[in-house]
């Protein structure tokens, strides 16, 4: 989806897309943080010691 296509969308659709984008982004960040702390960090710590 290009910028030109987004410009033609209604304001309501733009707001929804923006909300969806930020929501999925925040969920991804939380998931990555949980994944990192529970799985990767202990393994890296174990490998270093």
Residue 33: inside a domain, yes or no? Answer: yes
Alpha helices in 1-49 (DSSP H): 3-8, 11-35, 41-48
Q: Which domain holds residue 28?
A: 24-48
Residue 16: inside a domain, yes or no? Answer: no
Residue 44: inside a domain, yes or no? Answer: yes
Report the domain count for the chain.
1
Q: One digit per residue, pLDDT tens: the chain, 49 residues?
A: 566 665 667 888 889 889 999 999 999 999 999 988 888 887 877 777 6
Q: Which two tokens stand for residue 41?
A: 């960090």
Please choose, from the candidates 31, 32, 10, 12, the residue with its C-alpha nearest in 3D space to the C-alpha of residue 20. 12
Residue 38: inside a domain, yes or no? Answer: yes
CA 44/CA 2 separation, integer angstroms: 40
pTM, to two decimals:
0.44
């Amino acid at each position: 989806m290009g910028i030109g296509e987004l410009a033609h969308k209604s304001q309501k659709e733009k707001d929804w897309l923006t909300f969806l984008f930020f929501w999925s982004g925040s969920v991804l960040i939380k998931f990555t943080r949980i994944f990192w702390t529970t799985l990767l960090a202990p393994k890296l710590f174990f490998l270093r010691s």
